[in-house]
Amino acid sequence: MNPLLDFSGLPRFAQIKPEHVAPAIEQLLDENRALVTRLLADDSLPTWDNFVRPMEDANERLSRAWGPVGHLNAVMNSPELRDAYNATLPKITTYYAELGQNLALFQKFKALRNSAEFEGLSAARKKIIENELRDFRLGGAELPDDKKARYLEIQERQSELSSRFSDNILDATNDFTRVVEQRGELAGLPEDVLQTAREAAEAAGKTGWLFTLKAPSYLPVMQFADNRALREKIYRAYATRASEFGNLQWDNTPLMDEIVALRTEEAALLGFANYGELSLAAKMAETPQQVADFMRELAQRARPFAEKDLLELREFAKTNLGLNDLRSWDVAYASEKLREQRYAFSEQEVKQYFPEDAVLAGLFKLVETLYGLHIKTSRAPVWHETVRFFDIRTDKDVLVGQFYMDLYARNSKRGGAWMDDVITRRRLEDGRIQTPVAYLNCNFSAPVGGKPALFTHDEVQTLFHEFGHGLHHLLTEVEDLGVSGINGVEWDAVELPSQFMENFCWEWDVLQGMTRHVDTHGKLPRALFDKMLAAKNFQSGLATLRQIEFALFDMLMHSHFQVGQGKSILQLLDEVRTEVAVLIPPEFNRFPQSFSHIFAGGYAAGYYSYKWAEVLSADAYSLFEEHGVLNPEIGSRFRSEILAMGGARPAMESFTAFRGRAPAIDALLRHNGLVENA
């Protein structure tokens, strides 16, 4: 049996082969299209049970077959799997675009919406039907046939280009290595980084130390290497990935232009003034102008702090490091030295207190305290020997959810960190509840030299962030697929539970239970924690402006920009930087060419949602600050009003139900130190 067609339990990763992909997906697409034909031929009045449920069942089978394929393509990429994925992706895209454009299906949903049954449905089911009607309109269901055909072409081409965009970044990242043969050229780099680099060189049959552009290799070089020439070399390679400065077959520049042009055309077909408006039709924010105003207001509040950050850094670099001309490849290095001098600690010192086992134990204990749950090691088929699997259970040992954890970087895995769903909670026809399952993926350094993996405090926050997404998916109590977990949640509210979790990484009561020095086994000293806390908002002005720069660029590109109208995407970014940034990268920097969030990751005209949701998460967390950060009563309220509700009601309703009022920006500014004397 084709393992992709086995829906009896968890994916059978060990058996899944590239040659299984096309037959499984084609079979399911044929079955689904036959079902649609049958449903449309049925003249009886559509109901939830005779119309919505069969569609839901069929589309869930398709997503459960395709999900592991997309996942493996991201974490165990190979030429054969990539080919199978890219060959099948257009078929999936076409199917969903066809569904979205099917006027007869749209009429069926309208008939159900206007039927006597509708009033008796649960709030969750009503929301699913309302979402479907909105999505039909956004999917081109009301377009004339010739425009429908063009819309389909646009969808197929966009998915193809986005996949190539990701592949190009991965290939360009993997292509670069730098071998250093003299130990003296690596002064300043931590021992564990050197050991990893030495092992990488040995594995490649080289002598010396081998560095790459993957985060666990790239970031320590930028932060710690005294060798300025090495920093510049690595920075330049990283900043020009997938651009015209490298292998031209991986140049994302033409792909970016075509993606943006296609999005503009898609928006026009659907009657929107621009793609930004189309994107916001299903989000909390209402107009591109509202988003731009929000970003500019935040930039105005952050700018004085960012200017002060930069002035201090330049003065320090000149006086203490002899760097009269601070360049982009000096910023992380000089910042780390300034932080060490000002707060008398280094990232490297802190890292020794965060071995993987202690961090996971602390994270799990926090979840158990807040939500009355228990997390236990479990077993499941996995795609790599370092992947682990866990159960989440209640006090009465009832299974709530399960998740995979894939924490380490490797050549076959795309960069970054992300959560994805494997199985979504729903009530099955036989009355049983389907247990939700999630993937949690990071790109941390693997253990070396017989010691456990060590995480920087930033990596600990990344782990907590992704776990917050995971809890949003796993702790839902909604029983209908379309709004269960993160389904149906407005995109600009999806980051609320993840950013909310990051706050706990700054709480003494939490950190005490999740630290253990890798050599001495001692807990994180209070004095060191106090220094970390003092340094928490170190350069937060610069960090905030950087996020605003990306978000404003994204929204303006999708609302005030036309490809081929005398200005390039890079020139638009330069204009945004002139307006909001204080730290301008060198002319050769090609950041957009690797900005996969907006060109390949679903954040198009939506990158602002990180800051938008940060307002929500900081304000939500302030209720914990008022009542005790480990307060199970407030935890239970957060779980029931936000995590449990999924997309069953608008995110703003969930927020106000939890907080008792509309969100305010004050907590965000305070958390980020963007208020005087914060």
Structure-token pair, residue 25: 């997906």
Distance of CA 254 to the CA centre of its chain: 25
Rounded distance between C-alpha atoms, residue 257 and residue 567, angstroms: 11
- Taking each helix axis from N to C end, the angle separating 145-175 and 253-269, rounded to the nearest 10 degrees, works out to 160
Q: Helix, strand, or coil here: 396?
A: coil
Strand 433-434, strand 399-408: pairing:
unpaired
Strand 437-444, strand 399-408: pairing:
parallel
- Phi, psi angles (nearest 5°) of residue 604: -60, 130
Rounded distance between C-alpha atoms, residue 47 and residue 212, angstroms: 56
Asked if 2 and 17 count as a contact pair (C-beta separation under 8 A), the reply is: no
Q: Helix, strand, or coil here: 418?
A: strand
Could you count the other beta carbons within 10 Å of the beta carbon of residue 637? 17
Residues near 12 by beta carbon (within 8 Å), at least 6 away in sequence: 3, 6, 381
> If we measure between CA atoms, which residue out of 211, 254, 171, 236 comes closest to residue 590?
236
Rounded distance between C-alpha atoms, residue 382 and residue 12, angstroms: 8
Rounded distance between C-alpha atoms, residue 512 and residue 505, angstroms: 10
Rounded distance between C-alpha atoms, residue 585 and residue 591, angstroms: 9
Structure-token pair, residue 46: 């559509």
Rounded distance between C-alpha atoms, residue 47 and residue 116, angstroms: 10
Could you count the other beta carbons within 10 Å of the beta carbon of residue 602? 11
- Catalytic residue IDs: 466
Structure-token pair, residue 642: 């936000």
DSSP letters for 309-372: HHHHHHHHHHHHH--SS--HHHHHHHHHHHHHHHHS--HHHHHTT-BHHHHHHHHHHHHHHHH-
